[in-house]
Amino acid sequence: MAKGKFVTFEGCDGCGKTTQTRMLCAYLDDRGADYVFTREPGGGKISEAIREVILDGKNAEMTDECEALLYAAARVQHLADTVKPALESGKLVLCDRYFDSSFAYQAEGRGLGDKFVASINAYAIEKFTPDVTFLIDLPPEEAFLRKNGADENDRMELAGAEFHRRVYRGFIKQAQKNKKRFVVIDGRQSRETMFASILSALKDRKIID
């Protein structure tokens, strides 16, 4: 059984996730903590190659099912390359996005439904469920404002306002269905306030000292 702790970060594009994970890594570095920071899709050679195919704005004809399967494939490889070895050696693993993103973006956003997404992610769900998942709760209208609009080379960001509204609702639904695992952070707060909530949740759960 895995000994390390597994923490994931979720939210709409531009919600402020990256700032929070950077602040957490700096905090842990200052204390000499042994941890691994990684991201999805990506985090290793094969998964990064899959990431490029998925996000490439030129791959407009990709079917929704193909997209969902590629995210799941990148995830399985990333688990084997990075997450599993780190957890087995007792490390703390921090991951920017994980299977909850597939429930938000593919199940809700693309409309593929929870059943399909759960079935293709069963391996990750059964064997590597996070100990805690932080959802940075910021509606897409505000998230995109913060980012100055969508990145024109990013297929997901180009998917349209209605799509991103559904994604947002998908995240809220995941958090409501998994209340014990999720910690919802109000994304409208200052970065310092959000970070303080993240730290205290990690301390309460004895994930960090």
Residues that bind ligand TYD (CB under 6 A): 13, 17-18, 39-41, 71, 97, 101-102, 105-106, 156-157
Q: Considering the complex, state which of residue 17 and residue 166 has its C-beta at the smaller distance from ligand TYD.
A: 17
Residues 6+ apart with CB under 8 A from 159: 109
Q: Read off φ and ψ for residue 172, nearest 5 degrees.
A: -60, -40
Integer CA distances (angstroms), 157 to 17, 26, 36, 47, 120, in order: 15, 28, 27, 19, 23
**Token pair listed for 191:** 């970065």
Q: Considering the complex, state which of residue 106 and residue 184 has its C-beta at the smaller distance from ligand TYD.
A: 106
The CB-of-204 to ligand TYD minimum distance in angstroms stands at 25
Q: Considering the complex, state which of residue 33 and residue 62 has its C-beta at the smaller distance from ligand TYD.
A: 62
The CB-of-162 to ligand TYD minimum distance in angstroms stands at 15
**Token pair listed for 96:** 């920017």
**Token pair listed for 178:** 């998994």
Which residue of the chain is nearest ligand TYD when measured via CB?
A: 105
The amino acid occupying position 94 is L
Of 68, 166, 18, the residue nearest 174 (C-alpha) = 166
Q: Considering the complex, state which of residue 41 and residue 130 has its C-beta at the smaller distance from ligand TYD.
A: 41
The CB-of-193 to ligand TYD minimum distance in angstroms stands at 21
Q: Considering the complex, state which of residue 152 and residue 209 has its C-beta at the smaller distance from ligand TYD.
A: 152
The CB-of-208 to ligand TYD minimum distance in angstroms stands at 23
User: By three-state DSSP, how is residue 112 classified?
Assistant: coil
Of 161, 9, 180, the residue nearest 169 (C-alpha) = 161
The CB-of-191 to ligand TYD minimum distance in angstroms stands at 16
